[in-house]
Amino acid sequence: MRDTGAGGLQLDRRFLALTVSQILILRALGLGDFLTAVPACRAVRAAFSQATVTLAAPAYLRPVVRLTGAIDKLRPTTGLGQLRGDQSAPDLAVNLHGAGPQSIDDLLATGPLRLITHHSPVRPRIEGPLWEADLHEVRRWLRLLELSGVPVDGAELRLRAPDVASPVPHAIVIHPGAASPARRWPAERFGEVACRLRKDGHSVVVTGTEAEHPAVRTVVRVGRLPACSDLCGTLDLAQLAALVASARLVISGDTGIAHLASAYGTASAVLFGPTPPQLWGPPADGPHTVLWHGRTGDPHGLDPDPGLLSIDVEEVIGAAVQRLGQRPE
């Protein structure tokens, strides 16, 4: 190993395989962010099979973290500025959160012997690959590991089956919410899609967080769905994973539940905008239909993105009907 100072390094895997016993990975973000980093977590696990791997991430992710087979412990962390050196220092810290400098500083505060991270010009003594903005999120973190000397074998997204039963087996799952308004297709339109699918005889349920209850209620009302179709705020993450794993189809925007569909090979129709699917989309070889009109914008905008709004109801219904026709009854 060549130490480059201040935590920077060039890894020699043969050396690290003998010396690394504690690894800390930082990914203190949401469900979709976590799921896109699962292949990188698995690469770390495979390279250092005898080490204890701890993930710094929000506590609510614990049920799906267990399903990766790659993480031994969860260190509850809801964002940056929370990691301190009040626990034993890791031998290796891996920054799967961002390019720094805050995420770099957070990991350095834990006192690691070695650090894998992208380079930040604000922290010039810390070596690492340069950030590339146009990479798919899955590929981004695998590339970081490869260029840091950690072998990468494939990009497996799949999770193990949850140990709980689906609350509504074989349903169509509609999820109208997303973290930012820019990525929220109108709930009324989701309701029109739900109405058509219900008329076709399908079982339709609607999911969301407690904060998304107004949107979910709108989908249920416009879709003329029974009250029991409203699952908003009633499922923990393990139950949501079970619901998606057994679902016939998931219809959503670019948000965490779409990544759960990818993790279980569940058919999906995913509405993209303003972020292109080339950066966050599902695997091209999976049972997924991407709806995207080619217009980019601010993913943190306060209003639904015009490109997202240009996707119409009939387009989504067509994608759903096509996917349902490709799945056996």
Domains of the chain with bracketed CATH: 2-147 (3.40.50.2000), 172-325 (3.40.50.2000)
Which amino acid is present at 292? W
Q: Give dist(CA 156, CA 277) in Å, integer.
A: 18
Alpha helices (runs of H) in the chain, residue ranges in sequence order:
13-19, 31-36, 38-47, 62-65, 102-108, 137-147, 187-199, 213-222, 237-246, 256-264, 277-280, 306-309, 313-325
Q: Which residues of the chain have a pLDDT value below 70?
A: 1-18, 326-329
Percent of the chain with pLDDT over 90: 88
Whole-number mean pLDDT of the chain?
Answer: 92
Cα gap 105→103, rounded to integer Å = 5
Contact 33, 65 (CB under 8 A): no
Looking at residue 165, its pLDDT comes to 97
Instruction: State residue 11's pLDDT score.
Output: 54
CA 61, CA 133: separation in Å to the nearest integer? 26
Q: Tell me if 25 sits within 8 A of 96, measured CB to CB.
A: yes
Give residue 7's pLDDT.
41
pLDDT digits (tens, 9 = 90+) for 206-254: 999 999 999 999 999 999 999 999 999 999 999 999 999 999 999 999 9
Both tokens of 323, joined, read: 């996917």
Residue the block writes with tokens 């203190």: 28
In this prediction the pTM is 0.92
The structure tokens listed for 36 are 């896109």
